[in-house]
Amino acid sequence: MRTIAVFDILMLYGWNLDHYLSIVHGFTLLTYSIPTCKIFGFLNYFAAQSSAWLRVFICFDRYLITSRLHRTWFSRQKSVLIIITCIITITTLLNCHFLIFTCYYSSDGTINPNAKLYEIYPLWDYVNLGVYNCAPFILMVIFNSGVIYHLIHRRLVQLIQNSTIQYRAISITLIITTFLFLIMTIPATIDAAFFATTPTGILEKILDSALYTYHITSFPLYFITFKDFRRECIMLMTCKINNSRKIVPTQTTSIPMKTPNLS
DSSP class of residue 162 equals: T
Predicted pLDDT of residue 219? 80
Q: Is the pLDDT of residue 139 over 80?
A: yes
Given 1.10.287.110, 2.40.30.40, 1.10.3720.10, 1.20.1070.10, which CATH number is that of 1-236? Answer: 1.20.1070.10
Q: Is the pLDDT of residue 13 over 50?
A: yes
Q: What is the mean pLDDT of residues 104-125?
A: 86
Collect all residues with Cβ–Cβ distance below 8 Å to 18 and sequence separation of at least 6. 28, 29, 30, 40
Tens digits of residue pLDDT in 157-204: 555 455 545 556 666 777 788 888 888 888 888 888 787 766 667 888
Higher pLDDT among residues 147 and 131, named by residue: 131
Quote the pTM value. 0.77
Neighbouring-strand partners of residue 35? none
CA nearest to 104, candidates 10, 41, 194: 41
- Give the residue extent of every domain in the chain: 1-236
Q: Is the pLDDT of residue 49 over 90?
A: yes
DSSP class of residue 76 equals: S
Lowest mean pLDDT among 7-16, 20-29, 66-75: 66-75
Q: What share of the chain is helix, strand, coil (3-state, %, to 5)?
A: 70, 5, 30
Predicted pLDDT of residue 254? 46
Average pLDDT of the chain to the nearest whole number: 80
Neighbouring-strand partners of residue 102? 115
Q: What is the mean pLDDT of residues 48-73?
A: 85
